[in-house]
Every structure is written in structure tokens, then in C-alpha cells.
């Protein structure tokens, strides 16, 4: 009987639900949110507009966007106890601190216990504003600085850079951060979103699901690729060594970081928007070699594209962060900032037609056997 059971390890290729949030065509390298191409959203929209689109299903009009912006900015607040927790855990990895502080918010803010459509939206908006505050406060405290107070005149992306650095970002820097958040906002049933839906399937609250998502995102197989790409760039050192690096990796049958994706067989459609940002930012900051190293790797990997080894979005993200002087251990927390709207709507969608997600495992252990006591009674 068990020989007839098909095992789909990792649930690869398995549809567990219908969804109206995002569409991915891996063979063509296409991605859309709510029917809008990622290319249009990355070039024409702001993160606030995309967050509204994902959560509410339609792009906002001027009045709706203004109200949403007010709600996001009003939520830029952390209880004092959170700063105490961050101070106590400041030697930890930023993802551990972020997960711990987010969990603490659930205990400190009683409204986090509420479930239902409106509660999820309200708590989600609050967390969208609070996550970047936690990350920026941790970066300040672990470096002996006082956390920077949010600036209500700044957009979500610009305020993040302001809190992180304590200096006003340029318009180009703020826009690039905005695009980065848009590109990472939603991506179907990825590991962290699926984990969040499993949590909501037990009728848990949104904070619990976000903590689950953060713990899942922290794994290097999900959120850690951008950091690994930057380490690769540093290992290569100069553009002329890129081809030899790839040759050595491939000869050893080792993966080249930033290439290949569980879903895409063609190039990740998000990559092109970060590519130009790296080129432009590198030139502005007098460090064009970072872009040149990346392109050297891309050129060396072209023969392997037919095997589905194409550039993914993380290939360029890490260098953007490096050019901004952002520590490598903040790369995954930045991913979380962008992904918050996706987690919110994935949880909302799960809750609307909720069902416990409980797949099966096929037992392959010992047959039934007698129990033998060690002590004679």
C-alpha cells in the first residue's frame, strides 16, 4: 500500500490553496501583484501604494493613500519596554533581536491579541511601521548611540534610512530603498509566508504569525542570499577575477550565490530593477568595481542559463546595502521590512477561509514490536 503513495518532498509543485495576491510564471520570469506587473510597480509606484494594493486589493486613490500614510506614520511608536529588551539583547543577531522584540510587542500591546479582518489590518499596519524602528534602534544601541526619532515628514523608505543613519538620505537613495521594499513585498507561498499561514491556520493572532515568519526568514536558505552574495564579491576582489571564480566553483560542483531560484527558470524579474540601482549608486559613490564584479560573474554564468541558473533578486541587493554602509547582518532584517505587506495579506487570505494546514508524513520506521521492561516489578 505504501508503495503507491507519492511523496512530494518540500511540497514542491503542490498547490495547497487558491490565491488572488500574486502570480508567478517561473518559466517566463514574470511576477505580478494583484494583476499589476512588478515592472510597472517598481518604476511607477511607491512602497506605500504597493502595501495598500496588497492589503486592500486595489491601488489607492489620492485620498485613500493620504489616510493610509497617516496610519503608517501614526504607528511609528515603540513602548519603552521594547527599547529595554533591545538593550538587553543588543549583542544578539539582528534577526533574533527583531523576532524577540516583535514577540514582546504581542505581550505589551493588548490589541495584538485580537483576530478578525480589521484587527489583522490594524495590527499589520502597526507592525509595518514598528519593524524598521526595532532594527534601527538595535543598530544604534549596539553601537553606543541613542535611537533616532522617526521623522513624520519622510516616506516609509526615507524614514528607515534616516533612523538607521541619523542623516537625511538623498532622493536617489530613498527611492532605491523604496524599490527594494516593493520588490520584496510579496512572493506567493514562499517559506516564511507559508509558515505564517500555517500559524494562522491554528487560529492564532497576526503577531504570532509574523514571529513565525521572522523565524523562518532567518534561515539562510530563505533570506540569507544577499549577505552571501556580498561575501562572494569580497572574495572575488576585482572584476578580472570573476570568471576564474565561477570556473572554480562550477568545476567543484558548488553553487554560485545569487543564481537559481526554486520557482524561476528564467531570470528573476525583480533583478533588473536592482541592477541599474547598483550601477548608478556605485558610480555616484566612487565604487564602480562592485557592479563590474557582479557583471563579470553574470557574464561567466551565461552558459549555465539554459539549466535555469539565472540571476535572482538577491544578487544585486547585497551590494546596494553595502554601498549604503549597511552591515551585512542587517540584510535579512531589511528583507523583513519589505515583506511585511505580503505577510499581512497572506495571513488575511488564510483567515478568510481558514482551515488547519496539516499534511501527512508516510511512516517508514520499525514494524510493531513488544515492549521489554528494564526493571522487574
Residues acting as catalytic residues: 261, 314
Angle between helices 242-251 and 225-236 (to 10 degrees): 120
Dihedrals φ, ψ of 144, to 5°? 75, 20
Distance of CA 339 to the CA centre of its chain: 5
- Rounded to whole angstroms, how far apart are CA atoms 271 and 38? 11
User: Burial code of 7-30, b = ≥16 C-beta within 10 A, e = fewer?
Assistant: eeeeeeeeeeeebebbebeeeebe
Ranges of H-type helices in 184-270: 191-201, 206-217, 225-236, 242-251
Angle at 124 between CA 120 and CA 126, to 5 degrees: 125
Q: 30 in helix, strand or coil?
A: strand
Q: Is the dihedral of CA 163, 290, 47, 22 positive or negative?
A: negative
- Rounded to whole angstroms, how far apart are CA atoms 206 and 229? 32
Q: In terms of DSSP bridges, do strands 22-25 and 30-33 run parallel, antiparallel, or are they unpaired? A: antiparallel
Query: Whose CA is closest to 331, among 242, 183, 182, 230?
Result: 230
- Rounded to whole angstroms, how far apart are CA atoms 33 and 24? 9
- Rounded to whole angstroms, how far apart are CA atoms 118 and 280? 41
Query: Whose CA is closest to 184, among 154, 217, 227?
Result: 217
Q: 185 in helix, strand or coil?
A: coil
Q: 96 in helix, strand or coil?
A: helix
Amino acid at each position: 500500500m505504501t508503495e503507491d503513495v507519492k511523496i512530494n518532498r518540500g511540497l514542491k509543485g503542490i498547490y495547497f490553496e487558491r490565491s488572488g495576491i500574486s502570480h508567478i510564471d517561473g518559466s517566463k520570469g514574470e511576477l505580478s501583484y494583484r494583476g499589476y506587473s512588478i515592472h510597472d510597480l517598481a518604476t511607477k509606484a511607491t512602497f506605500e501604494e504597493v502595501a495598500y494594493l496588497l492589503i486592500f486589493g486595489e491601488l489607492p486613490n489620492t485620498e485613500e493613500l493620504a489616510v493610509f500614510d497617516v496610519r503608517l506614520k501614526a504607528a511609528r511608536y515603540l513602548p519603552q519596554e521594547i527599547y529595554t529588551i533591545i538593550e538587553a539583547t543588543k549583542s544578539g543577531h539582528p534577526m533574533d533581536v527583531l523576532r524577540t522584540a516583535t514577540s514582546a510587542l504581542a505581550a505589551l500591546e493588548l490589541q495584538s491579541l485580537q483576530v478578525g479582518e480589521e484587527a489583522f489590518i490594524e495590527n499589520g499596519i502597526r507592525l509595518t511601521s514598528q519593524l524598521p524602528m526595532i532594527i534601527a534602534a538595535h543598530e544604534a544601541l549596539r553601537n553606543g548611540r541613542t535611537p533616532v526619532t522617526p521623522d513624520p515628514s519622510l516616506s516609509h523608505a526615507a524614514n528607515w534610512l534616516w533612523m538607521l543613519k541619523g542623516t537625511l538620505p538623498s532622493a536617489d537613495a530613498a527611492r532605491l530603498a523604496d524599490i527594494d521594499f516593493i520588490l520584496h513585498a510579496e512572493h506567493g507561498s514562499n517559506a516564511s509566508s507559508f509558515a505564517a499561514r500555517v500559524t494562522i491556520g491554528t487560529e492564532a493572532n497576526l503577531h504570532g504569525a509574523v514571529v513565525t515568519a521572522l523565524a523562518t526568514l532567518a534561515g539562510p536558505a530563505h533570506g540569507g542570499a544577499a549577505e552571501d552574495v556580498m561575501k562572494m564579491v569580497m572574495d572575488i576582489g576585482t572584476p578580472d577575477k570573476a570568471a576564474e571564480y565561477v570556473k572554480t566553483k562550477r568545476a567543484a560542483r558548488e553553487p554560485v550565490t545569487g543564481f537559481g531560484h526554486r520557482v524561476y527558470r528564467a531570470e528573476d524579474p525583480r533583478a533588473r530593477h536592482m541592477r541599474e540601482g547598483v550601477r548608478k549608486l556605485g558610480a555616484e559613490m566612487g565604487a564602480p568595481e562592485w557592479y563590474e564584479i557582479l557583471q563579470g560573474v553574470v557574464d561567466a554564468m551565461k552558459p549555465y542559463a539554459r539549466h535555469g541558473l539565472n540571476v535572482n533578486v538577491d544578487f544585486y541587493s547585497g551590494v546596494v546595502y553595502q554601498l549604503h554602509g549597511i552591515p551585512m547582518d542587517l540584510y535579512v532584517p531589511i528583507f523583513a521590512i519589505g515583506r511585511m505587506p505580503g505577510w499581512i495579506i497572506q495571513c488575511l487570505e488564510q483567515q478568510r477561509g481558514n482551515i488547519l494546514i496539516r499534511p501527512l508524513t508516510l511512516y517508514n520506521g520499525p514494524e510493531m514490536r513488544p515492549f521489554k521492561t528494564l526493571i522487574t516489578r
